[in-house]
């Protein structure tokens, strides 16, 4: 039975996010300008065969340990979780992150490789890829951490294959179904009438220029470098998909597995919407200092909270 005053997972709500100063918070405060092109010591590069082709992945830890699969969002890559992987591996987990089809080092993966081939990246393509990764990476259900657009994919994958999930963490997840950009500052007011080509171009411009998210020089250099490889078609199609996000709140609310919403206090979407989303799906929420990317700006605090949540989820029944 959970302790009085604590959630169903036994974790004190005040312990999640940046609500307290501890060793993890101090480590995050000391983060400098990171070279994101250098993988953590002890990590291993690998390739995973999935329906859309081959996905580039990075792993860390003992493969026999419980698995954590970390999925980056649109225009992102496996490197977005670099600073978290050592903490999670040291805590006794096997950590795997991969590039989405069409993105960075998985750029060759796409709808033309499906059987039968399709013309566009669609939700089911990304869901089937994630399912294939989960079936490949773990002998038992895995903890899944999904970032932004990938959080929509993870919800869909859970709805189709719940037995593959030990827990579900949604980082900076679009908090509203349907036209998910409508609550975003700057682009929300016109996102409903721009097509995928224009929307993707604006999205890439905003990321490259730093207009949407201000990041250190080293981070921006890496972000611009990986744009050399990411297929514009994949970004265009993802933008279009996010204009019609499915509503899985009822399905998630009924799910008994541990659920966690992680978000920066200055995310693209208002914090009020994230709180309403977490309430709707009956999930805990952790709010971190920074913007859209707690995995980059608060990696040690985010890892600390995941480890606490996983400890309860992994207890013997």
What b/e sequence results for 78-112 when a residue is b if at least 16 CB atoms lie within 10 Å of its CB, and e otherwise? bbbbbbbbbbbbebebbbbbbbbbbbbbbbbbbbe
The rounded percent of the chain whose pLDDT value lies above 70 is 83
The band of 137, judged by pLDDT with boundaries at 50, 70 and 90, is confident
Residue 287, helix vs strand vs coil: strand
Question: Tell me, what's the pLDDT at 80?
Answer: 96
Task: Identify the helix (H) or strand (E) that includes residue 221.
Answer: helix 217-226
| Angle formed at CA 31 by CA 29 and CA 34, multiple of 5 degrees | 160
The band of 5, judged by pLDDT with boundaries at 50, 70 and 90, is very low
The band of 202, judged by pLDDT with boundaries at 50, 70 and 90, is low
Nearest Cα neighbor of 106 from 234, 296, 239, 292 is: 234
Average pLDDT over residues 113-127: 97
The band of 19, judged by pLDDT with boundaries at 50, 70 and 90, is confident
Residue 21's contacts (CB-CB under 8 Å, 6 or more residues apart) are none
Asked if 89 contacts 61 with a C-beta cutoff of 8 angstroms, the reply is: yes
Q: Is the pLDDT of residue 209 over 80?
A: no
Question: In whole angstroms, what is the distance from residue 126 CA to residue 106 CA?
Answer: 12
Question: In whole angstroms, what is the distance from residue 104 CA to residue 36 CA?
Answer: 13
| Joined tokens for residue 154 | 């993870």
Which is higher by pLDDT, 269 or 93? 93
Question: In whole angstroms, what is the distance from residue 222 CA to residue 8 CA?
Answer: 40
Question: Tell me, what's the pLDDT at 287?
Answer: 96
pTM for the model: 0.88
Rounded to 5 degrees, what are φ and ψ at 141? -50, 145
The rounded percent of the chain whose pLDDT value lies above 90 is 67
Average pLDDT over residues 297-309: 96
Q: Is the pLDDT of residue 164 over 80?
A: yes
Q: Is the pLDDT of residue 237 over 70?
A: yes
| Residue 175: alpha-carbon gap to chain centroid | 14
Edge-to-edge order in the sheet of strand 259-264: 44-50, 53-60, 94-98, 67-71, 142-147, 165-171, 259-264, 284-288
Lowest mean pLDDT of 9-13, 68-72, 161-165, name the range.
Answer: 9-13
Average pLDDT over residues 21-35: 92
Question: Tell me, what's the pLDDT at 69?
Answer: 98
User: What are the pLDDT digits (tens) for 75-98?
Assistant: 899 999 999 999 999 999 999 999
């Amino acid at each position: 039975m959970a302790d009085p005053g604590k959630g169903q997972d036994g974790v004190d709500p005040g312990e999640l996010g940046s609500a307290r100063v501890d060793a993890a918070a101090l480590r995050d405060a000391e983060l400098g300008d990171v070279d994101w092109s250098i993988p953590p010591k002890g990590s291993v590069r690998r390739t995973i065969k999935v329906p859309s082709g081959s996905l580039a992945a990075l792993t860390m830890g003992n493969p026999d340990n419980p698995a954590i699969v970390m999925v980056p969002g649109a225009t992102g890559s496996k490197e977005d979780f670099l600073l978290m992987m050592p903490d999670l591996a040291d805590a006794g987990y096997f950590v795997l992150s991969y590039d989405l089809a069409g993105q960075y080092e998985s750029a060759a993966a796409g709808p033309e490789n499906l059987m039968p081939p399709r013309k566009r990246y669609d939700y089911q393509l990304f869901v089937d890829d994630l399912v294939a990764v989960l079936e490949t990476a773990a002998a038992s259900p895995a903890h899944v951490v999904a970032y932004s657009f990938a959080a929509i994919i993870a919800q869909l994958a859970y709805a189709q294959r719940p037995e593959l999930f030990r827990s579900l963490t949604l980082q900076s997840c679009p908090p509203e179904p349907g036209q998910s950009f409508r609550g975003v500052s700057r682009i929300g007011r016109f996102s409903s009438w721009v097509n995928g080509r224009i929307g993707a171009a604006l999205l890439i411009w905003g990321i490259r220029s730093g207009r949407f998210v201000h990041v250190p020089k080293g981070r921006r250099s890496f972000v611009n470098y990986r744009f050399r490889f990411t297929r514009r078609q994949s970004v265009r199609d993802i933008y279009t998909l996010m204009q019609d996000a499915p509503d899985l709140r009822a399905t998630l609310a009924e799910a008994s597995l541990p659920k966690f919403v992680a978000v920066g206090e200055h995310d693209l979407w208002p914090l009020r919407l994230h709180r309403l989303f977490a309430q709707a799906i009956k999930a805990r929420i952790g709010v971190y200092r920074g913007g859209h990317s707690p995995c980059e700006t608060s990696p040690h605090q985010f890892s600390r909270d995941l480890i606490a949540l996983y400890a309860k989820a992994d207890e013997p029944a």
